[in-house]
Structure 1
Amino acid sequence: MEKYKPAKPKQKPANLKSPTVNILINVSIFLLTAAIIFMAYSLFLKLSYKGEEEFALPDTKGAEEIIQIDVRNGCGVSGVADRYTDYLRSKGFDVADIGNYISSDVDETLIIDRIGNMANAYKVASALGVRNENVIQQLNKDYFIDVSVVIGKDYFSLTPFK
């Protein structure tokens, strides 16, 4: 004999016709639609914007155009390296380090190329008024700078002090 199983009662569908549920569903649909429209508009603006930001900063330089400099005081007069640093920064150079040279008895200011790009050293020499004969090359892979400036006893005759 088969056992009798009572019939499962049918569940009533949710009452979607109540005014509260209808209002909540309509408000949700409206808010989601507004959010989608806002995001689509924002994406459109971002993709089609040919902004003025590219033209706002004409003096910005690429990484390959920035010359990093190490300024060393080799004349023994205090404050000279700071004055040269301020001058070089005003001319657009990136002075990464300031300090004293191993000797304080350097007669003429030297510009030392550290990475094998003499053009950068000549640019610094030109900005400071240093003669091209005083531009030398000493490659050093341990330095993370392009050019070293060693200020000599002729510091007062160069451009930053004129």
Structure 2
Amino acid sequence: MAGKFGNWMMNVGIAVAVLVAAVLLYAFYVRISTPIPDPMRLDGETDLLGSTIQVQVLNGAGVDNLGLQMENHLIGLGFDVVETDNFRKGMEKTVILDRLGNLDASEQVALAIEANSERISTDILVDYYLDATIIIGRDYQEFLPWKVPDLEEVN
């Protein structure tokens, strides 16, 4: 009887080890296959100081603290958030405005919030001294840091 119990425990241990290995391999795959935003400007692209992409965050959704949450998310990824403020309320869609004609920087900002490049518009304001502006709209839950992962997307 003790022999059967020992074999059963060994089988359970092996099954648990295989399960843990599978989870770790999946996590590794997700990590290497997910693009990571690069908060650094390409060399010599602008006359702005520093090499970090500078972003302005404006809350147009009318929901308290969204700008601060977005600011913390972007800073955590290495971006330089130079201003966080409110925009006129009632913005339906979140947009990213390219302020210097540096589409690469705006695409990195879009990648950071998991927005597609169709959300990027060009509105050059060279006297703003920043690369991009994010205007958070009422659809904010579609983007990081508020987006809830869709389990069907992962599989």
Q: State the TM-score, normalized to the length of structure 1.
A: 0.59
Q: For the residues of structure 2 that align with 1:65 and 1:136, how far apart are their CA atoms?
A: 22
Q: Identify the residue that residue 78 of structure 2 maps to in structure 1.
A: 92
- 4+ runs deviating over 2 angstroms: 61-65
Equivalent in 94, 99, 114 of residue 129 of structure 1: 114
Structure 1 residue 74 and structure 2 residue 60: aligned? Answer: yes
Q: For the residues of structure 1 that align with 2:63 and 2:53, how far apart are their CA atoms?
A: 26
Q: For the residues of structure 1 that align with 2:118 and 2:143, how far apart are their CA atoms?
A: 15
Task: Report the structure number with the largest CA radius of gyration.
Answer: 1
Q: Which runs of 5+ in 2 are unaligned?
A: 1-39, 42-48, 148-155
- CA-CA distance at 1:64 after TM superposition: 5.4
Q: For the residues of structure 2 that align with 1:131 and 1:64, how far apart are their CA atoms?
A: 26
Q: Secondary structure at the match of 2:104?
A: helix
Structure 1 residue 116 and structure 2 residue 97: aligned? Answer: no
Aligned pairs for 1:1-162 (under 5 A) are: 65-101=51-87, 103-162=88-147
* Code of the aligned partner of 1:119: D
Q: Secondary structure at the match of 1:161?
A: coil
* Code of the aligned partner of 2:56: D
Q: Secondary structure at the match of 1:71?
A: strand
* Code of the aligned partner of 2:106: A
Counting aligned pairs with the same residue, the percent is 32
Give the aligned CA root-mean-square deviation in angstroms: 1.5
- CA-CA distance at 1:107 after TM superposition: 1.0
Q: State the TM-score, normalized to the length of structure 2.
A: 0.62
Deviations 1:16-35 (A, max 9, x none): xxxxxxxxxxxxxxxxxxxx
* Code of the aligned partner of 1:134: R
Deviations 1:21-54 (A, max 9, x none): xxxxxxxxxxxxxxxxxxxxxxxxxxxxxxxxxx
The aligned length equals: 101
Q: For the residues of structure 2 that align with 1:110 and 1:69, how far apart are their CA atoms?
A: 13
Deviations 1:3-24 (A, max 9, x none): xxxxxxxxxxxxxxxxxxxxxx
Q: For the residues of structure 1 that align with 2:103 and 2:50, how far apart are their CA atoms?
A: 14
